[in-house]
Amino acid sequence: MPIKNLFNGEMTSNEVIDSAFSLLENQALDRNEILINFQNLVFVSVYFLEKLESFIEKAKKLNVKVQIKNVPPSIYKVFRVARVNEILKLCF
């Protein structure tokens, strides 16, 4: 089931980012697969990148398949420039 509206607008506040990933991690506990929709994401911070990497690592350990869809080009460029390969592998 796709997770919608978790990542909206400018993800710059660490609290907001923590809260979003906390929700995501909770969902990962009882799922085999998570589909994250970045359609409404406008801006990401360094902290966001680190949390996303960390989440992917945790999901991997839990054998939860993560997929990321609808990454806006400006955010995809951030992933590319940051060379965050573990994130890039999951984008489609």
Under the criterion CB under 8 A, does residue 83 sit at the interface with other proteins? yes
Tokens standing for residue 68: 């990321």
Residue with smaller CB distance to other proteins, 15 or 30:
15
* Minimum separation from the CB atom of position 71 to other proteins (A): 13
**b/e burial code for range 37-68 (CB count within 10 A of at least 16 → b):** bbeebeebeeebbebbeebbebbeeeebebeb
20 near 49, Cβ under 8 Å?
no
Under the criterion CB under 8 A, does residue 79 sit at the interface with other proteins? yes
Under the criterion CB under 8 A, does residue 81 sit at the interface with other proteins? yes
87 near 79, Cβ under 8 Å?
yes
Candidates 3, 6, 49, 91; binder of other proteins (CB under 8 A) is: 49
Tokens standing for residue 86: 């573990």
Candidates 50, 57, 69, 89; binder of other proteins (CB under 8 A) is: 50
Which residues sit at the interface with other proteins, rule CB under 8 A? Answer: 43-47, 49-50, 74-75, 77-84
